[in-house]
Amino acid sequence: MAEIGTDIRKATELLTNGSLVAIPTETVYGLAANALDENAVAKIFEAKNRPSFDPLIVHLPSEKSLSSLAQNIPDAFYKLYEALSPGPITYILQKTDAIPDLVTAGNPTVGIRFPKHSLTQKLLEICNLPLAAPSANPFGYISPTSAQHVQNQLGKKITYILDGGSCTVGLESTIIDLSKGAPTILRLGGMDILEIENALNKKITRIKTSSSNPKAPGMLSSHYAPRIPLFYGDIKKHLDLWKGKSIGIITFCKRVSTASEAQQFILSPTRNLNEAASQLFAVMRQLDTSNADVILAEEFPDEGLGKAINDRLKRAAFKP
């Protein structure tokens, strides 16, 4: 099993030597390697069982280290960076030759993120390497929001997990493509689109999150999925269908009164969508490893982080 600790020097040594280290961020835990070392990056794909056509996000401490990695950077980037970074937003920019093709899956663009987690910010400063890091879960499964989640699934494949506690945002970053023309949202996530619109001082009209483009599996319709079937939407209908089975229920702020026997998880009794988002993946995992036969999840309000919660639940939902 991997060692879990808070030793930044040890993490730096491992990363410098081409090994993998799991790192905490405000969104989800990442599985990091030196982005400039193709052999190290290859280990990420192997450990996650991730297809090599799925590009990785590169993590930096600040935009000071950006100039050698990205080029033709538009003004919109600087506006968003000033207002929203560090934070749960990833910028797709035109890449330079310094970034290996394996990182970007051959794309001429690279995803760049400035995570807002003090331990990882310190690590990025001290190791002085851009870190390529996807979410630290086996490909297709729910993203980890604690060190223990990483240990449970990838503990045999890595040696060190940097423990930064539970992720405060709990959903992956919002991805915005700034590499061509008008900004386009590629993935809904932890940064509310309204904040992005405020920072740019204009509405974003192009949202392409349900792409069937095989180059972007995070945008594939089936992803983030538990092992047991999850049904999203009409809880009452499914309660009848699954009568007699062990049922897990995920709701926003209220219990389902007609399901007294079910294991019920209310993500935010005080109706706070940010709190609900931070709990979602941990609850999905807990139910997935419980004795439940099925998970029923309701639709969340279509505003703020509720949009990203609904997006993840839709992708996690059972597809016959």
Separation CA 312–CA 280 (nearest Å): 9
Q: Based on CB atoms, which residue is closest to Mg ion, 104 or 135?
A: 135
Smallest gap from residue 35 Cβ to Mg ion (A): 16
Tokens of 256: 């389902």
Task: Look at the block and give the residue holding tokens 């989640």.
Answer: 149
- Site size with Mg ion, rule: CB under 5 A: 1
Any residues with CB less than 8 A from the CB of 108 and at least 6 apart, and which?
94, 95, 179
Q: Is 31 left (phi over 0), alpha (psi -120 to 50) or beta?
A: beta
What are the phi and psi torsion angles at 71 (to 5°)? Answer: -140, 165
The DSSP H or E segment spanning 161 is: strand 160-162
Site string for Mg ion, 207-246 (x = CB under 5 A): ----------------------------------------
Q: Which of 253, 250, 274, 252 shows the shortest CA–CA distance to 264? A: 250
Chain residue whose CB lies nearest ligand TXA: 218
Give the DSSP per-residue string, 132-143. Answer: E--BSSSTTSPP
Decide which of ligand TXA, Mg ion, none touches 310; Cβ closer than 5 to 8 Å per partner kind: none
Q: Based on CB atoms, which residue is closest to ligand TXA, 92 or 247?
A: 92
State the SS3 of 74-111: CHHHHHHHHHHCCCCEEEEEEECCCCCHHHHCCCCEEE
Q: Which stretch binds Mg ion (CB under 5 A): 7-15, 84-92, 130-138, 264-272?
A: 130-138
| Residues forming the site for ligand TXA (CB under 6 A) | 25, 27-28, 30, 54-57, 90, 92, 104, 107, 109-111, 113, 115, 133-135, 172-173, 175, 186, 216-219
Tokens of 319: 């597809």
Q: Based on CB atoms, which residue is closest to Mg ion, 119 or 225?
A: 225
Decide which of ligand TXA, Mg ion, none touches 54; Cβ closer than 5 to 8 Å per partner kind: ligand TXA
Smallest gap from residue 270 Cβ to ligand TXA (A): 25
Decide which of ligand TXA, Mg ion, none touches 164; Cβ closer than 5 to 8 Å per partner kind: none
Smallest gap from residue 179 Cβ to ligand TXA (A): 8
Query: Does residue 135 belong to the site contacting Mg ion (CB under 5 A)?
Result: yes
Decide which of ligand TXA, Mg ion, none touches 209; Cβ closer than 5 to 8 Å per partner kind: none
Decide which of ligand TXA, Mg ion, none touches 301; Cβ closer than 5 to 8 Å per partner kind: none
Q: Based on CB atoms, which residue is closest to ligand TXA, 28 or 277?
A: 28
Smallest gap from residue 316 Cβ to Mg ion (A): 12
Q: Which stretch binds Mg ion (CB under 5 A): 131-139, 148-156, 252-260, 270-278?
A: 131-139
Decide which of Mg ion, ligand TXA, none touches 306; Cβ closer than 5 to 8 Å per partner kind: none
The DSSP H or E segment spanning 287 is: helix 273-288
Residues making up the chain, counted from first to last: 320
Tell me the three state secondary structure of residue 122. helix
Bond before 86 cis per omega within 30 degrees: yes
Smallest gap from residue 186 Cβ to ligand TXA (A): 6
Counting runs of H as helices and runs of E as strands, what totals does the chain give?
Answer: 10, 16
Smallest gap from residue 141 Cβ to ligand TXA (A): 11
Q: Which stretch binds Mg ion (CB under 5 A): 50-58, 70-78, 133-141, 160-168?
A: 133-141
Contact 113, 173 (CB under 8 A): yes
Q: Based on CB atoms, which residue is closest to ligand TXA, 87 or 229?
A: 87
Name the maximum alpha-carbon separation found in the chain. Answer: 60
Tokens of 278: 């931070």
